[in-house]
Amino acid sequence: MLFGAFDRHNFGDLLFPHVAARLFGHGDFIFAGLAARDLRAWGGHRVEALAPLAARLRERAVNLVHVGGEVLTCDAWEAAVMLLTPDEAQQTIARFATSPGERLAWARAALGHAALAPYAVSRDMFPHAASVIYDAVGGAGLDACAPALRAEVLAKLGAADDISVRDARTQSQLESAGIAARLFPDPAVMVADLFGAHIRQHAQRGELLALSRAFPRGYIAVQFSADFGDDATLGQIAAQLDRYAKRGGLGVVFFRAGAAPWHDDVACYERTAGRMHAAPVKLFRSLNVWDICALIAASRLYLGSSLHGRIVAMAFALPRVNLRHSAPAAQPAKQAAFAATWDDAVSPAAVDVDDIADGIAHALAADPARLRRTARELVIRYRRGFAPIRAALALP
């Protein structure tokens, strides 16, 4: 069983099961999440819900593999809301705004089980499991989580057979708690190596082909989450992109890396584009995971708040820079943690919105040979780290 947040539209979560299934090579996989969903129309999988699966397979010697993602810090409320439609999410958030104490009860009822950290599965749900494995998961902000959630996560990890994490910050926190974890990169570093030909095919049709014709000098692939959506921040982003366009000559293509609640909002891109005057701008509409990969792969640079936008750019040896809020409390811990662990020291990790133009210029000055070397090394490290997981499952 491959388990993760494959049940919601988020870029990395849609990619993870593809990588795992390809590297395992064969097998009768169950793709499991917290809710039953069919995301095949967006390049994802048909996903089965965990609670009924646990009831059905309770006596079976299943192999349970947690595949990627920041699963160690996602609480039940966040998980349940992100599985709603945007309208349902707004209504639910408003409903509990004045009664936060009732959120957990609602989330537990919605998810069908009582975990505080539901994307980390308790061995108690599958007492006869042959193995419980964590494959390059993240938990960079675990030390800032509520003590009860943190204790639950550590107990679940303590009962696992093999744990690997994707950044040194998560590894250090687990080691301090007495949990040994191997370190290797996020599964998405494999997309160019495993799916490069498929992604290039997507680039030769429809909306992507039109973009290559619209921007003969190239474009910057830009994405940011809805929490950047206040007028002042959008105005700064627009001004900075215009500032770079005047000297760099590249177009701008806005895209969504996730359509689940608390991810990206197309209205933010439309409002930003309406404030821009110097840069030619397009809004990329497709939410297909392979189209998004192709958009990034064909760009000159990725700029955004998504960790997996950055990682896919790394996989294709492209310049990249994450976008962060100016307020220290809003800085993207998982993005910074991953970049500090795996990216080239000369590549900018993240910039504030008022430093976008300089950040783009800095990133584009990176040595292409160095970028290619980093991409190759990440593939080697991931294959090396994944090999013991294949061996534990006795796959050839």
184, 209, 244: which is the final residue of a domain?
184
What does the pLDDT average to over 362-377? 96
Asked whether residue 384 is domain-assigned, the answer is no
Supply the pLDDT for residue 202. Answer: 87
Within a domain: residue 389? no
The pLDDT score that the predictor gives to residue 279 is 85
- The mean pLDDT of 298-303, rounded to a whole number, is 97
Q: Domain check: are 207 and 334 in the same one?
A: yes
Strands of the chain (E only): list them.
2-3, 31-33, 37-38, 46-49, 63-67, 131-137, 162-165, 182-183, 219-223, 251-254, 281-283, 301-304, 320-324, 350-352
Res. 346 pLDDT band, cuts 50 70 90: confident
Considering the chain, what percentage of its residues have pLDDT values greater than 70? 97
- pLDDT given for residue 13 in this prediction: 95
Residue 273 lies in a domain: yes
314 and 360 both lie in a single domain: yes
Whether residues 219 and 79 fall in one domain: no
Please give the C-alpha separations between residue 265 and each of 43, 44, 285, in angstroms, as whole numbers. 20, 20, 12
Q: What is the CATH number of the domain that holds 219?
A: 3.40.50.2000
Centre a 10 Å sphere on the Cβ of residue 5 and count the other Cβ atoms it contains. 27
CA 315, 321, 327: angle at the middle one, nearest 5?
140
**Quick check: 308 and 295 in contact, CB under 8 A?**
no
- Whether residues 270 and 128 fall in one domain: no
User: Looking at the structure, do residues 163 and 219 belong to the same domain, yes or no?
Assistant: no
Question: Per the structure block, which two tokens stand in for 137?
Answer: 């998961």
306, 327 contact by CB (below 8 A): no
Domain span including residue 95? 2-184
- CB-CB neighbours of 57 under 10 Å: 18
Burial class of residue 290 in the structure, from the number of CB atoms within 10 Å of its CB (0-12 exposed, 13-18 middle, 19+ buried) = buried
Per-residue pLDDT band at 395 (split at 50, 70, 90): low
Percent of the chain with pLDDT over 90: 81
Rounded (5°) CA angle 241-243-245: 70
Cα–Cα dist 85/261, whole Å:
7
Domain count, the chain: 2
Q: What is the predicted pLDDT for the residue at 212?
A: 86
Q: Give the SS3 label for residue 95.
A: helix
Q: Give residue-wise pLDDT tens across range 8-58.
A: 999 999 999 999 999 998 778 999 999 999 999 999 999 999 999 999 999
Q: Is residue 348 part of a domain?
A: yes
152 and 197 fall within a common domain? no
The residue written with tokens 């700029």 in the block is 303
Q: Tokens 């160095």, residue?
A: 370
